[in-house]
């Protein structure tokens, strides 16, 4: 499974790079697969409410034919409903693939994985019942195959397939039950979605507005220009040469019809078991870089910042066991994903995964500076471990001193200050695209800590002109290099004697900086 | 990024988005070939109660007296449901042969039948037979004779009602032998259904939908 995961990671990186080249990282739709699926659910609910008003369980095919013939609202509303369901399935499948490839499917994320599969499965079944509602040749074919598969289970006293045999009209009760399932499943999906995001703080449920409206608008235009065709009304006495089928949802239909029901059920069961077992198959030991965060109660001041910053709601404030009047942070190891964002949020450096607390980071930087034998002269580029290797190679080639961190959210602002005080001309931090951070909120909190005084803020004595926060994404090497070169130019201009003005006066007490600022 | 590069990117993004959208709309309606397209189908489909083969016995007055008042069933029947041999032939060639019985673990539910047979288009001589496999002596639906003396008060007419109900059940059951022997014209891609007509107690052919009720 790990081999599969690595292969998936490579494929995902290639796809991400291609999409970033096309759209740029802020609008890369592959970074938005989860929110995009939710957005499509909302489109489905909105259009579905209208369709519900015109649908008749007593004459399903006729009501849909009437709807499709209405050129003003009915036709495109139905098409939009259908295309949105297709895009939901595609986006949800890509989202699951992304989580698997980025190893975000195990440990504390297991609940999200399993509930996400539930949302996806319910969505597919809901789409299938929707096709049956239309009761055209495709809907009938789906119903017939579904009946055959269900009849193989010892559930129904009278075989379901007999409903569609043709010797009796299909009863309205069937369409009523089908409609009931079609409406009830989204309610179940809402519950599963709530579970899906229940372990994350501040879940991002929708894509950025331009992307949301852009995609919805494009789907609406496609619905007008290329309305979804409707098959011939179902007729039990006709076996059409071909059936217009939605392969996004029913790609399996042709294969399933050729196999015995037992084989189909076994294959489905095996597939479900395999995906359910993914969290177990890819889990890692919770040690080393994956050990959960720990709190040093002697250092914890009870400031309540780390629970606010934790993207997984893994930290709570509890009463202390000693006689100090403050609260103390407590990490729930079952919820902690070892992202280390708490370490970046803690001014006294009293929390973080072992080896990655603020103190550990400072110690590591100091020792690496000592190894370097002198103060760091080149520009320091601090890169997330997830950053493309090509970016780091290119940055080194341009003379930068590259320092990697597990996540830019884990980076303590004191590390930036240490580099600047060690006579580095400037520090540029390359984070992942904000919507593609594997730890969810690393770039966001880094920016807040460096520029907006969020705890643990970068101290005012550090010249902000010598610090830059940038984004590095696969497929955007040129963007990273342009940003780095611009930063280097700005620093060079800053270090020119004629540019040394009083603006650095507030940091003149710092010996390293005053040395650099001197003519 | 220069203005030209930006323009190229915008065009590329537009083309890619359009291509993805077009693929989604296309995948939404792909002609999926039907199995056995171009051929005709003979479909056997019905549900009916299998015949109940039972031996009934009238209880004596002494036996009835020993029972609680509400348990005094005057006739006790023991038996089982019949099984049937189904045989389908087309132009003298056997298409299928099987034993069919009522649904449920005890086979006491109606007998549900749904079988499809693929045939080439054209005229075919079709013979469908459903024959009870159990041999019985005489009339299995006969009720034992009993006195109507006790049928007074609220029980007045009970014997008659029991006889009517017994006869209704017997009529609803599949006859011991059902045969359809006929020549049918099968059009390609069409289905002809053979079903059991409970009113006529015979197999019949349908080649178009019955009007909705």
How does the average pLDDT of chain A come out, rounded? 91
How many residues in chain A?
Answer: 519
Beta carbons of B1 and A482 less than 8 Å apart: yes
What are the residues whose beta carbons fall under 8 Å from the beta carbon of A141, sequence distance 6 or more? A243, A245, A253, B32, B34
Asked if A466 and A511 touch (Cβ cutoff 8 Å), the reply is no
Beta carbons of B25 and A226 less than 8 Å apart: yes
Query: Beta strand A401-405 with A380-384: parallel, antiparallel or unpaired?
Result: parallel
Q: What is the pLDDT of residue A125?
A: 97
Beta carbons of A166 and B191 less than 8 Å apart: yes
Beta carbons of B191 and A238 less than 8 Å apart: yes
Q: pLDDT tens, A343-400?
A: 999 999 999 999 999 999 999 999 988 877 655 579 999 999 999 999 999 999 999 9
Mean pLDDT (whole number) for A405-419: 95
Element (H, E) at A404: strand A401-405
Q: Using alpha carbons, select from A37, A336, A351, A346 the residue that is nearest to residue A200.
A: A336
Asked if A498 and A492 touch (Cβ cutoff 8 Å), the reply is no
Q: How far is CA A85 from CA A41, A91, B63, in A?
A: 8, 10, 69
d(CA A310, CA A315): 7
Query: A511 pLDDT exceeds 50?
Result: no
Q: What is the pLDDT of residue A513?
A: 35
> Considering the entire predicted model, what is its pTM?
0.87
Q: How far is CA A468 from CA A18, A145, A408, A442, in A?
A: 26, 59, 12, 15
Q: What is the pLDDT of residue B141?
A: 52
Asked if B114 and A165 touch (Cβ cutoff 8 Å), the reply is yes
Query: A507 pLDDT exceeds 80?
Result: no
Tokens of A234: 């179902």
Q: What is the pLDDT of residue B104?
A: 84
Q: Using alpha carbons, select from A362, A303, A312 the residue that is nearest to residue A341.
A: A312
Beta carbons of A166 and B43 less than 8 Å apart: yes
Nearest to A22 among B12, B34, B207 (CB): B12
Which residue shows structure tokens 């730890």? A439
What are the residues whose beta carbons fall under 8 Å from the beta carbon of A184, sequence distance 6 or more? none
Structural domains of chain A in order of their starting residue, each with its CATH number = 33-281 (1.20.810.10), 353-517 (3.40.50)
CB-CB neighbors (< 8 A) of A240 in chain B? 34, 37, 189
CB-CB neighbors (< 8 A) of A226 in chain B? 22, 25
Q: Using alpha carbons, select from A283, A340, A387, A288 the residue that is nearest to residue A5.
A: A283
Q: pLDDT tens, A269-292?
A: 999 999 999 999 999 998 988 999
SS (H, E, C) chain B: CCHHHHHHHHHHHHHHHHHHHHHHHHHCCEEEECCCCCCEEEEEEEEEECCEEEEEEECCHHHHHHCCHHHCCCEEEEEEECCEEEEEEECCEEEEEEEECCCCCCCCCCEEEEEEEEECCEEEEEEEEEEECCCCCCCCCCCCCCCCCCCCHHHCCHHHHHHHHHHHHHHHECCCEEEEEEEEEECCCEEEEEEEECCCCEEEEECCCCCCC
Q: Using alpha carbons, select from B143, B137, B128, B140 the residue that is nearest to residue B84.
A: B128
B83 to chain A, closest Cα gap in Å = 18
Asked if A239 and B190 touch (Cβ cutoff 8 Å), the reply is yes
Tokens of B155: 């029980």
Let me know if A373 is exposed, middle or buried by CB neighbors in 10 A (0-12, 13-18, 19+). Answer: exposed
Q: What is chain B's Cα-based Rg?
A: 30
Q: How far is CA A328 from CA A313, A356, A413, A449, in A?
A: 15, 20, 22, 22
d(CA A311, CA A339): 9
CB-CB neighbors (< 8 A) of B189 in chain A? 238-241
Q: What is the pLDDT of residue B140?
A: 53
Q: pLDDT tens, A298-312?
A: 999 999 999 999 999
Q: Using alpha carbons, select from A413, A414, A416, A390 the residue that is nearest to residue A403.
A: A416
CA A235, A237, A241: angle at the middle one, nearest 5?
80
Label residue B137 by pLDDT band (50, 70, 90).
Answer: low
d(CA B107, CA A313): 57
Mean pLDDT (whole number) for B174-184: 93
Q: What is the pLDDT of residue A249?
A: 95
d(CA A231, CA A135): 9
Q: What is the pLDDT of residue B210?
A: 58
Q: pLDDT tens, B37-59?
A: 889 999 999 999 998 888 888 88
d(CA A178, CA A125): 11
Asked if A108 and A199 touch (Cβ cutoff 8 Å), the reply is yes
What are the residues whose beta carbons fall under 8 Å from the beta carbon of A64, sequence distance 6 or more? A55, A78, A133, A134, A135, A136, A230
CB-CB neighbors (< 8 A) of A167 in chain B? 45-46, 193, 195, 206, 210
Dihedral of CA A432/A437/A443/A446: which sign?
negative
Nearest to A167 among B25, B27, B193 (CB): B193
**Least-confidence region, from A114-128, A402-416, A498-512:** A498-512
Q: Where are the domains of chain B?
A: 1-32, 36-206
Is the CB of residue A236 less than 8 Å away from at least one CB of chain B?
yes
Beta carbons of B32 and A219 less than 8 Å apart: no
For A22, the closest chain B residue by CA position comes to: B13
Q: Using alpha carbons, select from A482, A514, A517, A515 the residue that is nearest to residue A499.
A: A517
B148 to chain A, closest Cα gap in Å = 39
Which residue shows structure tokens 């040749």? A137
Beta carbons of B32 and A247 less than 8 Å apart: yes
d(CA B12, CA A84): 23
For A231, the closest chain B residue by CA position comes to: B29
């Amino acid at each position: 499974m790990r081999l599969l995961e690595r292969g998936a990671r490579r494929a995902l990186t290639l796809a991400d790079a291609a999409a970033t080249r096309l759209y740029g990282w802020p609008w890369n739709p592959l970074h938005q697969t989860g929110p995009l699926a939710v957005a499509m659910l909302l489109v489905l609910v909105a259009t579905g409410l209208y369709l519900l008003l015109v649908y008749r369980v007593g004459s399903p095919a006729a009501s849909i034919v009437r709807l499709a013939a209405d050129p003003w609202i009915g036709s495109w509303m139905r098409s939009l409903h259908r295309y949105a369901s297709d895009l939901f399935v595609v986006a949800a499948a890509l989202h699951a693939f992304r989580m698997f490839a980025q190893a975000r499917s195990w440990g504390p994320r297991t609940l999200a994985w399993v509930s996400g599969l539930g949302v996806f499965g319910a969505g597919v079944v809901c789409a299938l019942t929707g096709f049956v509602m239309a009761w055209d040749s495709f809907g009938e074919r789906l119903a017939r195959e579904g009946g055959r598969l269900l009849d193989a289970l010892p559930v129904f006293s009278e075989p379901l397939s007999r409903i569609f045999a043709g010797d009796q009209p299909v009863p309205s009760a069937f369409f009523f039950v089908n409609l009931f399932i079609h409406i009830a499943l989204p309610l179940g999906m809402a519950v599963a979605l709530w579970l899906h995001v229940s372990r994350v703080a501040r879940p991002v449920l929708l894509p950025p507005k331009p992307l949301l409206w852009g995609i919805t608008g494009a789907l609406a235009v496609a619905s007008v220009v290329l309305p979804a065709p409707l098959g011939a009304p179902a007729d039990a006495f006709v076996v059409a040469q071909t059936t217009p089928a939605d392969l996004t949802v029913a790609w399996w239909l042709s294969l399933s019809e050729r196999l015995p029901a037992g084989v189909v059920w076994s294959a489905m069961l095996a597939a479900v078991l395999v995906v359910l077992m993914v969290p177990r198959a890819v889990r890692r030991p919770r040690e080393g870089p994956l050990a959960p965060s720990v709190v040093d109660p002697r250092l914890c001041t009870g400031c309540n910042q780390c629970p606010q910053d934790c993207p997984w709601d893994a930290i709570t404030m509890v009463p202390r066991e000693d006689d100090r009047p403050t609260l103390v942070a407590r990490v729930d190891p079952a919820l902690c994903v070892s992202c280390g964002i708490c370490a970046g949020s803690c001014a006294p450096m009293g929390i973080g995964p072992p080896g990655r607390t603020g103190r550990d980071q400072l110690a590591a930087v100091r020792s690496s500076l000592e190894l370097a034998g002198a103060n760091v002269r080149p520009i320091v580029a601090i890169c997330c471990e997830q950053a493309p290797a090509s970016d780091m190679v290119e940055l080194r080639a341009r003379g930068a001193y590259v320092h990697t961190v597990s996540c830019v959210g884990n980076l303590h602002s004191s590390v930036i200050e240490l580099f600047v005080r060690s006579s580095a001309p400037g520090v540029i931090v390359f984070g992942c695209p904000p919507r593609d951070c594997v730890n969810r909120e690393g770039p966001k909190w880094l920016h807040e800590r460096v520029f907006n005084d969020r705890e643990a803020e970068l101290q005012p004595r550090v010249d902000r002109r010598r610090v830059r926060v940038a984004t590095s994404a696969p497929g955007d090497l040129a963007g990273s290099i342009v940003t780095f070169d611009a930063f280097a130019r700005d620093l060079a201009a800053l270090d020119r004697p004629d540019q040394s003005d009083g603006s650095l006066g507030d940091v003149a007490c710092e010996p390293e900086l005053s040395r650099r600022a001197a003519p | 990024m220069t203005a030209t590069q930006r323009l190229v990117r915008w065009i590329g993004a537009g083309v890619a988005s359009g291509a993805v959208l077009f693929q989604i709309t296309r995948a939404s309606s792909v002609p999926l070939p039907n199995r056995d397209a171009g051929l005709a189908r003979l479909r056997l489909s019905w549900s009916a109660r299998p015949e109940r083969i039972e031996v009934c016995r009238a209880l004596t007055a002494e036996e009835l007296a020993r029972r609680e008042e509400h348990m005094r069933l005057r006739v006790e029947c023991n038996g089982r449901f019949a099984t049937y041999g189904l045989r389908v032939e087309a132009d003298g060639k056997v298409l299928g042969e099987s034993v069919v019985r009522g649904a449920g673990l005890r086979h006491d539910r109606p007998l549900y039948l749904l079988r499809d047979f693929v045939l080439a288009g054209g005229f075919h001589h079709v013979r469908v037979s459903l024959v009870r496999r159990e041999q019985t002596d005489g009339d299995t639906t006969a009720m034992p004779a009993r006195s109507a003396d006790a049928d007074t008060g609220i029980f007045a007419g009970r014997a008659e009602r029991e006889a009517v109900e017994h006869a209704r059940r017997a009529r609803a059951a599949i006859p011991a032998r059902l045969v359809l022997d006929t020549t049918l014209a099968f059009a390609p891609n069409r289905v002809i259904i053979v079903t059991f007509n409970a009113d006529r107690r015979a197999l019949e052919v349908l080649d178009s939908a019955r009007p909705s009720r």
